[in-house]
Structure 1
Amino acid sequence: MGFVKTPLIGLRADHFRHPLDLEATASLKQIPGLDLLIRTVLGPIAEQFFYLENIASSVLVSEQQLPDLHKLLLEACRVLDLEPPQLYVRQHPVPNAYTFAMRGKQPFVVLHTSLIDLLTLEEIQAVIAHELGHLKCEHSVYLTPVNILVLAAKQLPNWGEMLAQSIEAQLLEWVRCAEFTCDRAALLATQNPKVVASVLMKLAGGSPTLAGQLNLDAFLKQARAYDDISNDQLGEMLKQARTAQLTHPVPVLRAREIDRWANSKAYQSLLETRSLSNPEETKSGGWRNW
């Protein structure tokens, strides 16, 4: 697992939240009736459906069940100053991970087996920490309707289409911005930007057989080439059209963002400030929101 990570005492979401996440969240809160929709319609559906789905079809990680993964979870929670959620492993051929926090239920994180097969232990911890970032920032308030919209569109096409026309675009824009914040949580937990960037590289074009041949420096160079596409109006339009219906920013863009933040004064200052050994000193010291 490498070096011991420094716990970030008193870490709060606004200490590492990405500016685009702040902006998109403020915009989302202006949608009339969205909060009411979540409380009265989407919340109860999510509570029953997703909780029962995990209990029935996944393996709950614990000290006795997949203990190595359990240790990764506990260490990431300790570093991020967060109570551990439940962690499930689910058999699935598509590499993915997700999290939910539902009313009256313990929050949970789900890892697909194909994702675990693709990554090293440190990279798996980065994925777990990314999902913990959603919990730390209370993203589940709006992640739930995103997932329910997908479910509704499949089960009730007319209702799903009606919802999509009014709020889907803003929800998708918000969730893409939220991913940048959670990549920062992954970096804070692993305290190694190469680990986080390597996860993104493998998600873009990796497999268990190809993983050993991938070159991280070349991938970061590729990310810079993606930036160059925006040098003209057509390139920017194509990039926006490419991402408009996605729930995540493209991997090269996420790698570029985390590389920039890892080399910023804000990141270094956050590590130094939150790793103070005296909790009382940490509580009394202010920290700007950015």
Structure 2
Amino acid sequence: MEQQSILTGLRANHFRHPLDLRATESLKQLPGFDLAIRTLLRPTAEQFFYLENIATSVLVGPAQLPHIYQLLVDACQVLDIEQPQLYVKQNPVPNAYTFAMRGKQPFIVVHTSLIELLNDRELQAVIGHELGHLKCDHGVYLTLANLLALAASQLPLGPVVTQNLQSQILKWVRCAEFTCDRAALLVSQNSRTVASVLMKLAGGSPNLSAQLNLDAFLEQANAYENLSQDQLGALLKEMRTQELTHPVPVLRAKEITQWHGSQDYQKLLQTRSIHYNGETTGGWRNW
């Protein structure tokens, strides 16, 4: 794979999306938010999810799927973040998620079907996306959102979680995803790699992925954006997304492509990089 620049001294606010910032502040001010956290995120819940995961998944390491482990190691170096555990879990639904709460050791889970869908560079972008949640301290809020998704179908919550609170948490999750797509870009340093992941998640399969056209998908993203030019289109888009945990893939692809071409991204890469294109110059180094 191409070599990447390592970003030294990188902080979350260097790449955090403005929507993420605003949504986080709004979430903290919601009545009932602290109660929901104390009720759902108990130490027993943390222990349960950790034990469930370690019992039913494969822990990646130097002696277990070492090529995937190296993707994690390199991504952590690029983002200047402490390395979490990484698990591979058998599941037919392509997905990856992060679990972190109360300062304990976080872990990332990647489903086998997602690994089968992506190439190594794309898989590392997904790992970078999940590391973005950890870099930005999304852990507690993200875990709360995941528990709410589970609780909605399996647990009686009563008055603990109001519909408004759940709606605001979903809105925060969607905004946080934009930030973590930026983390994925910082790891891959190629917007087409991140957009390709989103395309494959939207309509790919191990058999179809090689036939997909990324340029056509990005044109599709432009068409989706153009729907906002009239009031009805904007309303339909809002209705479509308000109950989702993630922004729609075409919107994410458009957003990350635009950020890749921005001065903010280029300046961040230039000022924080200590290595570039395999050349060693002054304070730059190979890895």
TM-score by length of 1: 0.91
Deviation of 1:276 (Å): 4.4
Q: Secondary structure at the match of 1:89?
A: strand
Structure 1 stretches of 4+ moved >4 Å: none
Describe the superposition over 1:180-220 as per-residue Cα deviations: whole angstroms up to 9, x where unpaired. Answer: 00000000011111110000000000000001110111100
Structure 1 residue 139: Cα displacement: 0.5
Residue by residue over 1:104-163, the C-alpha shift from the partner in whole angstroms, topping out at 9 and shown as x without a partner, is 531100000000000000000000000000000001121111111122222224x26761
Partner of 2:217: 219
Partner of 2:280: none
Taking the aligned partners of 1:104 and 1:229, their CA distance within structure 2 comes to 43
Q: Is this contact kept in 2: 1:153–1:161, CA < 8 A?
A: no
Q: Structure 2 CA distance, aligned partners of 1:187 and 1:47?
A: 30
Counterpart in 2 of 1:253?
251
| Counterpart for residue 70 of structure 2 | 71
Alignment size in residue pairs = 276
Describe the superposition over 1:61-104 as per-residue Cα deviations: whole angstroms up to 9, x where unpaired: 00000000000000000000001100000000000000011225
| Counterpart-to-counterpart distance in 2, 1:207 and 1:251 | 15
The answer on 1:90 being equivalent to 2:89 is yes
CA-CA distance at 1:36 after TM superposition: 4.4
CA distance in 2, matches of 1:223, 1:174: 22
Give the Å deviation of 1:42: 1.9
Hey, what does 2:235 align to over in structure 1? Answer: 237
Matches within 5 A, 1:21-60: 21-39=20-38, 41-60=40-59
2 CA distance for matches of 1:120 and 1:266?
A: 28
State the match for 1:179 in structure 2: 177
C-alpha distance in 2 between matches for 1:170 and 1:262? 28
Matched, 1:267 2:265: yes
Looking at structure 2, the residues matched to 43 and 128 of structure 1 have their Cα atoms a distance apart, in angstroms, of 27
Structure 2 distance, partners of 1:129, 1:64, is 22
SS in 2 for 1:94: coil
Compared with structure 1, are the counterparts of its residues 161 and 231 closer, same or farther at alpha carbon in structure 2 (3 Å cutoff)? farther
Deviation larger for 97-106 or 3-12: 97-106
Contact 2:35 2:160 in 1 (8 A): no
Question: Unaligned regions of 5+ residues in structure 1, if any?
Answer: 282-290
Structure 2 matches for 1:92-241, cutoff 5 A? Answer: 92-157=91-156, 159=157, 163-241=161-239
Q: Contact between 2:40 and 2:147, CA under 8 Å: does it hold in 1?
A: no
Q: Which amino acid aligns with 2:252?
A: R
Identity of aligned residues (%): 68
CA RMSD of aligned residues (A): 1.5
| Whole-angstrom distance in 2 between the partners of 1:161 and 1:228 | 40
CA distance, structure 2, for counterparts of residue 114 and residue 265 of structure 1: 36
Q: Partner letter of residue 155 of structure 1?
A: Q
User: Structure 1 residues 64 and 218, CA, compared in 2 at 3 Å: closer, same or farther?
Assistant: same
SS in 2 for 1:209: coil
> Structure 2: how far apart are the matches of 1:149 and 1:41?
8
Unaligned runs of 5+ in 2: 276-282
Are the counterparts in 2 of residues 77 and 132 from structure 1 also a CA contact under 8 Å?
yes
Query: 1:27-66 CA distances to partner (integer Å, 9 max, x unpaired)?
Result: 0010134234324542424302211111110000000000
